[in-house]
Chains A and B, each alone.
Chain A
């Protein structure tokens, strides 16, 4: 990872977190579909990034969002789970011949079919953890599953739209 792509990643994280905090905080489509667009930043980190740095960075980003949401620990715990699962899931769905080192797990690089199969389960795991922790002891399992299902679909659709609009075609981001 060169210096320029580092800057782009920092910029991406800041932009997505700002959008999440300032615009999407009280958005819930039909009361069930939440949008966690800042996950796009964590999902777009290079494939070679794994283990300690990925988990620590994700935890930090989650905590940052938490502070603004007044839900201390909720985002952090869910996003840590996502970061932990990401390398295993990437390995499980690797295409024939494995990944290039230069590959980025983004929509313009990998195509829509692969991208949905990459993001949807991870975002669903995130949502499940998030809503279980949020509704602990109050809501039923049905509410949790309902919210997780629709939130993950909504988030993935939003992530795809953002990438179609803003991500450049050839060089990753």
Chain B
């Protein structure tokens, strides 16, 4: 008995090593499940405030660019507003209020961002106090950024589109055929469009937008442009590479979108046993 104890004692650092490795791998697995909210991440108060201070300094240098992007977006919105305004001499019909405001938008700032791993995350400076909830979509004027994963009081963490766990329901704008955008973990400027059947006529240069099926994003937010279409190895589907429209290394200010009917749609899907993509 003493021998066994002595033997174990001589192995103590190896045993500790194994224990800690198992613990670490457990953490990796629990952190990477798309639904699971992790405890230790950059949305906790201390980490968030450190990252926010850093981003306060760094963002100062990109204010000019941010201003320019806002100007462009403002101009586009003004133009859009003009088409929506009713012309005084024509008859207009007031829409039912039930059809209005299905989506609500909020602004936020990215305080931490990663590009170089296969599971990238984004930390935002808005949290549950500001009405951010897990599952909200994140985008900016260039295109889709990701989806909120977990929320603390003042900060939130989102899956980046550059995360191999995130699947995004998307379609080719010109012919409405839909597929799934999923990053392959290689290049931070490119992604893959999966599950597009072979008979679909997809050409390089076609725009990829969100479908609105998933109820996270409204329909028609740009994701990217098809760069190449190959026959690929899969006998049923095309191998499509997308050039992402968002420059993730420069994204600073983002919009959060909430679908007021997300709960209803989710519970309907759950009742009918549909596994939804995000």
Contact = CB atoms under 8 A, between A and B. Distances in A.
Most buried by A among B21, B30, B50: B21
Interface in B63-82: none
A43 to B, nearest CB: 17
Nearest to B43: A70
Contacts of B265: none
Contacts of A83: 17
A134 B117 contact: yes
Interface string A41-77: 0000000001110011001001100111111111011
Nearest to B183: A138
A134 B20 contact: no
Contact of A72 (B17, B41, B187, B249): B41
A70 B42 CA distance: 6
Interface string A103-125: 00000000000000000000000
A83 B20 CA distance: 11
17 contacts: A26-B116, A28-B115, A56-B20, A63-B40, A68-B50, A70-B114, A70-B121, A70-B157, A73-B27, A73-B31, A77-B28, A80-B17, A81-B21, A133-B25, A134-B117, A139-B118, A143-B186
Contacts of B41: 67, 70, 72
A169 interface: no
A66 B39 CA distance: 12
B164 A76 contact: no
Interface string B1-41: 00000000000111011001101111111110000001011
Interface in B111-138: 112-121, 123
B47 to A, nearest CB: 6
B27 A51 contact: no
A84 interface: yes
B142 interface: no
Instruction: Give the most central of A28, A70, A71, A84: most B CB within 10 Å.
Output: A70
Contact of B28 (A59, A74, A139): A74
Contacts of A168: none
Contacts of A34: 116
A72 B41 CA distance: 7
Interface of A: 21-22, 25-26, 28, 31, 34, 50-52, 55-56, 59, 62-63, 66-74, 76-77, 80-81, 83-84, 87, 133-135, 138-139, 143
Max count, chain B CB within 10 A of own CB: residue among A26, A28, A87, A139: A26
Contact of B27 (A21, A26, A72): A72
Contacts of A77: 20-21, 24-25, 28
Contacts of B184: 138
Nearest to B39: A72
Contacts of B44: 67
Nearest to B18: A84
A164 to B, nearest CB: 27
A67 B117 contact: no
Contacts of A67: 40-42, 44, 47
Contact of B51 (A51, A59, A68, A80): A68
A26 B113 contact: yes
A73 B28 CA distance: 5
Contact of B20 (A51, A70, A76, A135): A76
A26 B123 CA distance: 14
Nearest to B42: A70
B251 to A, nearest CB: 12
Given A55-B13, A55-B16, A74-B28, A69 B185 contact: no
